[in-house]
Structure 1
Amino acid sequence: RGPPAAAMEDADLIRLSVERLKRQKEQVEGLKDTLLERDATLLELQQQFDALSEELEDLQEAHEALRSDKATQDEALRRANEELLANSYRMRQSDENFAAQEKKWQEMEDLMRVTVQRFKAQAVQATQDLRKKDAALHESTAEARELRAQQKENIEAKMRLEAAGDQQKKRIMELEAAAAAAEEAKAEAERREKELRIRLEVR
């Protein structure tokens, strides 16, 4: 697998990791919105509790005011007891609802904590992967530079060899020309020697 194919595959892996981290971030944002809703619900429950407390105080004041009239007091006490029972029931229901909501919030907080930890772990892993890919890319770039330098040296060596070959061919041609000239000179010398020998024999 060549460097371009590996780079494309690494880019795809990095893109998938970034998309997965974006989805995790969206989940965290959703949990944050849920926590904001929790705060709003807590405020509403606190307001209900304050209102019930004020009603209870009003009923207690009415109870103290009705002590002077026994008959009215008994009736008022009965109504007050009914109100107190109703308020007690509403407060108990509110406490149960609050406990159930608190349990739900705790579960959401646990889920958010786990999600954030997973998000952090994935971010660390993605950072490590990016560093590894970056190191591999630098190493691949260095190898490519070495290959280009080697190719350049090979080309220069080839050119030197070709120049030396041309020089050698030129030298061979010169030697061949010199050999041909020597052959001609030898033939001319033999011819003159033969003529000289004939002249000597004639004399």
Structure 2
Amino acid sequence: MGMPDDPVVATREFITGWYADVPSNKHVVLPRSIPAALASFYAAAAGRDEVLGRQDRLFPPYRLHPGEDGWLEFGEENQGGFVLALDPTRPDPAVFYRYWKDEPIVDPHPLTTFLLLFAVYEASFAGPYLATADLTSEEALRLTSGLRRVPLRDRWFPPGDTEFHVGNGLVVQLAPNDDATWCTYTSARHRAHLQPLRHLDIAWKTFER
């Protein structure tokens, strides 16, 4: 499956659908100096703080001001390992990881696609109801049957061999283990969407937190 033709629209639709139970704030004030894709993300996320991330985090809009060097820093890794940055003068800029190495590392995805993958990645950890397990390939196929795969295409972080599948009120993250199994975080906003997974004959490590 390829990426959607308009990842900005796909990101907005994912946020407004996945977080439909969280009231939004229609009166968010955004800086004028940010790319349109980032403005659209913050408009959809307004009033929904968890959209900005828990594993990693995007900065709130009031912090979005280009530095003296021209970089716009807009997020960071949860332990401060890197800072997300871009060139705000470009319509769909590259996303850079600063301070991880001596030179910034560029993500393979431009901002528009990066934000879609960020939203899905964070949602896989952040649902009120969560199930985790180590899966065989056959179990992973059963878990994701009927869901839509969102390809990473070699995103730098998390690694590109991580998979995401969405649908039926679920976001499923599959990350490969060294022993040819898969580690999954399966997240749901409502208990009813997670309950059918009890019948998949999977040895869950955690279920519903």
TM-score tier, shorter chain, comes to under 0.3
Higher relative strand content: 2
User: So what's the TM-score if we normalise by structure 2?
Assistant: 0.18
User: So what's the TM-score if we normalise by structure 1?
Assistant: 0.18
Bigger radius of gyration:
1
Higher relative contact order (CA 8 A, sep 6+): 1
Higher relative helix content: 1
